[in-house]
């Protein structure tokens, strides 16, 4: 009886965790796919031709005239600054 | 502003003059406003209830000892840590009618016969938006309730074991009553946050298909920035503010009570 209860509990936790993680996993998996594979049928959980080109592209992509990594750096600095002021 | 004429599409020669409660009358008699209030109420009721129940279950389960508990706790926080916009974009990809993973899984396991257009069918769009909200919100409940669970003194359980209570009795008679103060606060916070919720529903379908997911915030946004009737939008905002003030009042009352105990 105890054993069954424990197994059921672990299965329930696994289901909840799967529900929580799946969209994140899907985002991660999609980020490594080549564009043709993003909209392929049937969808693939693991990209067949894994590529990092998505990451390279987004780094040099321009958002409102500025590069992504500039934006990223600025966001980080601003966040740190705001938090510094808050904590003091 | 909510008492003034601010309909920018039809500017009047005397500018933004005082109209009294005209804006409020217009908005309350508007069919779309009623529609969006109804949708908001359903949205709040369903998402808060589900977030709470799933969060409670997760907290109760995570409070027990098992292998990989730390990992499970870390994994559970992920939805809460992902920014709203990013999360919604991923869900849009997953909801896709032809290539979406959810449709693929559902048809593969024969839950549904043909693909569902989650964000295209007015009947399914609202539950779809709710699902994203529940997914995004339940870790917060789980973490808060987990903290509440850990503050329950262990002696109570020991005493009940001596008295011969089984684990179900323990849960109902000790855990749930002891969790009550935390749950009330979490519940009120959830309601307040859900009233002002905007990003998920807006990004998913922009209030769309045929206003099926048009919650109050989206309705106000559309009135202001699509129809350019800022007076009416301001009136709607004031009405919404009243709702959230009501719950904020309860929230403040509850937290004060907690302090005095």
B10-47 pLDDT tens trace: 777 777 777 878 888 888 888 888 888 888 899 999 99
Name chain A contacts of B99, Cβ cutoff 8 Å.
38-41, 43
Contact B135 A9 (CB under 8 A): no
Say if residues B175 and B196 touch (Cβ distance below 8 Å). Answer: no
| Residues in chain A, total | 88
Find, in chain B, the residue whose alpha carbon is nearest to that of A12: B61
With a cut of 80, say whether residue B247 has pLDDT above it.
Answer: yes
- The mean pLDDT of B101-115, rounded to a whole number, is 80
Measured in degrees and rounded to the nearest 5, phi and psi for residue B166 equal -90, 175
pLDDT digits (tens, 9 = 90+) for A21-43: 888 998 888 888 888 888 877 77
pLDDT value of position B172: 80
Q: In this predicted model, which residue has the larger pLDDT, B124 or A64?
A: B124
Q: What's the pTM value of the predicted model, to 2 decimals?
A: 0.81
pLDDT value of position A84: 64
Measured in degrees and rounded to the nearest 5, phi and psi for residue B88 equal -65, -40
Report residue B49's pLDDT band, with 50, 70 and 90 as the boundaries.
very high
pLDDT value of position A32: 87
Q: Which of B54, B135, B139 sits opposite A23 (nearest CB)?
A: B135
Distance from CA of A88 to the nearest CA of B (A): 25
- The mean pLDDT of B197-214, rounded to a whole number, is 81
Q: How far apart are CA B77 and CA B29, in angstroms?
A: 43
Residues 6 or more apart whose CB falls under 8 angstroms from that of B144 comprise B55, B182, B186
Contact A9 B79 (CB under 8 A): no
Burial of A71 (0-12, 13-18, 19+ CB in 10 A): middle
With a cut of 80, say whether residue B124 has pLDDT above it.
Answer: yes
Nearest-CA neighbor of B142 among B59, B38, B34? Answer: B59
- % chain B with pLDDT above 70: 98
Token look-up 């323990």 returns B170
Measured in degrees and rounded to the nearest 5, phi and psi for residue B206 equal 55, 40
Find, in chain B, the residue whose alpha carbon is nearest to that of A36: B99
Contact A9 B66 (CB under 8 A): yes
Contact A23 B58 (CB under 8 A): no
Residues 6 or more apart whose CB falls under 8 angstroms from that of B20 comprise B3
Nearest-CA neighbor of A24 among B138, B54, B79? Answer: B79
Say if residues B172 and B34 touch (Cβ distance below 8 Å). Answer: no
Own/partner contacts of B98-102, CB < 8 Å, gap of 24 or more, are: B98/A39, B98/A41, B99/A38, B99/A39, B99/A40, B99/A41, B99/A43, B100/A43, B101/A26, B101/A43
Weakest-pLDDT range from A61-65, B22-26, B58-62: A61-65
How many CB pairs below 8 Å do chains A and B form together? Answer: 64
Provide the sign of the torsion angle of the four alpha carbons A22, A28, A34, A39, taken in this order.
positive
Contact B66 A13 (CB under 8 A): yes
Nearest-CA neighbor of B118 among B27, B46, B204? Answer: B204
> Strand pairing partners for A62?
A67
Q: How far apart are CA B191 and CA B183, in angstroms?
A: 12
With a cut of 50, say whether residue B181 has pLDDT above it.
Answer: yes
- The mean pLDDT of B74-103, rounded to a whole number, is 86
Contact A16 B54 (CB under 8 A): yes
Report residue B259's pLDDT band, with 50, 70 and 90 as the boundaries.
low
Contact B99 A17 (CB under 8 A): no
Contact B61 A38 (CB under 8 A): no
> Strand pairing partners for A87?
none
Chain A touched by B139 (CB under 8 Å): yes
Token look-up 């009358």 returns B25
pLDDT value of position B48: 92
Which tokens in the block code for residue A32? Answer: 């490594």
With a cut of 70, say whether residue B130 has pLDDT above it.
Answer: yes
pLDDT value of position A88: 43
Report residue B258's pLDDT band, with 50, 70 and 90 as the boundaries.
low
Residues of A engaging B, defined by a Cβ cutoff of 8 Å: 6, 9-10, 12-13, 16-17, 19-21, 23-24, 26-27, 30, 38-43
Find, in chain B, the residue whose alpha carbon is nearest to that of A8: B61
């Amino acid at each position: 009886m105890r054993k069954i209860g424990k197994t059921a509990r672990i299965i329930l936790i696994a289901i909840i965790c799967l529900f929580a993680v799946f969209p994140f996993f899907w985002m991660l998996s999609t980020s490594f796919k080549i564009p043709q594979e993003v909209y392929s049928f049937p969808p693939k959980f693991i990209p067949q031709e894994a590529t990092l080109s998505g990451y390279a592209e987004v780094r040099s992509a321009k958002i409102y005239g500025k590069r992504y990594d500039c934006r990223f750096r600025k966001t980080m600095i601003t966040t740190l600054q705001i938090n510094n002021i808050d904590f003091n | 502003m909510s008492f003034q004429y601010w309909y920018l599409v039809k500017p009047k020669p005397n500018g933004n003059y005082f109209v009294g409660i005209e804006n409020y009358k217009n908005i309350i008699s508007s069919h779309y406003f009623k529609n969006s209030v109804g949708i908001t109420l359903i949205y709040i009721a369903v998402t808060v209830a589900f977030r709470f129940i799933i969060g409670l279950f997760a907290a109760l389960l995570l409070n027990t000892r098992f292998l990989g508990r730390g990992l499970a706790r870390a994994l559970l926080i992920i939805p809460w840590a992902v920014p709203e916009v990013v999360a919604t974009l991923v869900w849009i990809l997953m909801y896709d009618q032809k290539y979406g993973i959810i449709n693929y899984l559902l048809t593969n396991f024969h839950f549904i016969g043909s693909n569902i257009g989650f964000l295209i069918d007015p009947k399914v769009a609202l539950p779809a938006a709710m699902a994203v909200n529940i997914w995004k919100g339940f870790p917060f409940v789980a973490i808060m309730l987990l903290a509440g669970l850990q503050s329950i003194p262990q002696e109570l359980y020991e005493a009940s074991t001596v008295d011969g209570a089984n684990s179900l009795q323990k849960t109902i008679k000790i855990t749930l009553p002891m969790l009550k103060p935390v749950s009330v606060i979490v519940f009120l916070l959830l309601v307040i946050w859900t009233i002002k919720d905007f990003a998920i529903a807006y990004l998913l379908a922009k209030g769309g298909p045929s206003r099926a997911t048009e919650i109050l915030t989206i309705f106000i946004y559309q009135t202001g920035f699509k129809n350019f009737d800022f007076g009416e939008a301001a009136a709607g905002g004031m009405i919404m503010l009243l709702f959230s003030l009501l719950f904020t009042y309860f929230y403040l009352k509850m937290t004060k009570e907690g302090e005095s105990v």
